[in-house]
Structure 1
Amino acid sequence: MTSVFQILLMILDIAKWIILIHIIMSWLINFQVLNLRQSLVAQIWYGLIRLLDPIYSRVRAVLPNTPGLDLAPLIVLLAIYALRIVVYNNMYSFS
């Protein structure tokens, strides 16, 4: 049973890093450090958008409209951290 919890923690860590990469890339694109005309950057960017948009759209439907400020990645990161804490605290009660 411990291995199931470890796998779940690993999946949550991977999701956290994917969201952090998306946030950092969005900053770099907005500050014109990265250019979407480069094919590798565009492929990574649009792949991340396709991967994260279903999650972000559900969160954006609940959040109030804040023009110019997207709080969906922050809320998803907080949810991932909360899930990680819940999984970690309950890991040893099932052993």
Structure 2
Amino acid sequence: MLALLQFIDFLITLYIWVIIASAILSWLIAFNVVNTSNRIVLSIADTLYRLTEPALRPIRAILPNLGGIDISPVILILILMFIQRVILWGFIAPAVLG
């Protein structure tokens, strides 16, 4: 059971890094540091978008419009860290490992 909890912890950590990579790449594209006409950049951006957008879309629907600032990745990372630290290791692990 401990291995399953560690695997879930690893997946949450990996998804947090995917969110960070997606945010950084979107900044690089917005400031024209990388060019999306490059097929590799376009495929990486598309993959990151497909991985993160289903989780970010509901958060963006709830948040008010802050102009050009998108804080939904920060909120999603905070939610995932809460799940990881409080729920997973604070409640489930002590109850299961006991």
Assess same fold via TM > 0.5: yes
Aligned-partner Cα distance in 2 for 1:27–1:65: 18
Question: Aligned ranges for residues 12-91 of structure 1 at < 5 Å?
Answer: 12-86=12-86, 87-90=88-91, 91=93
Residue type of the alignment partner of 2:44: I
Structure 2 gap segments, 5+ residues each: none
Q: For residues 2 and 85 of structure 1, what CA distance do their matches in structure 2 show?
A: 15
- Aligned-partner Cα distance in 1 for 2:43–2:33: 16
Query: Which structure carries more helix by proportion?
Result: 2
Q: Percent identity among equivalent residues?
A: 31
Q: Give structure 1 regions of 4+ aligned residues with deviation exceeding 4 angstroms.
A: none
**C-alpha separation between the residues in 1 aligned to 2:32 and 2:94?**
47
The normalised TM-score by structure 2 is: 0.88
SS of the equivalent of 2:90 reads helix
Aligned to 1:5: 5
Q: How large is the Cα RMSD of the aligned pairs?
A: 1.2
Shift of 1:31: 2.2
Query: Matched residue of 1:6: which SS?
Result: helix
Report the CA distance between 1:75 and its aligned residue.
0.7
Counterpart of 2:17, as a letter, is: W
Write the letter of the residue equivalent to 1:88. W
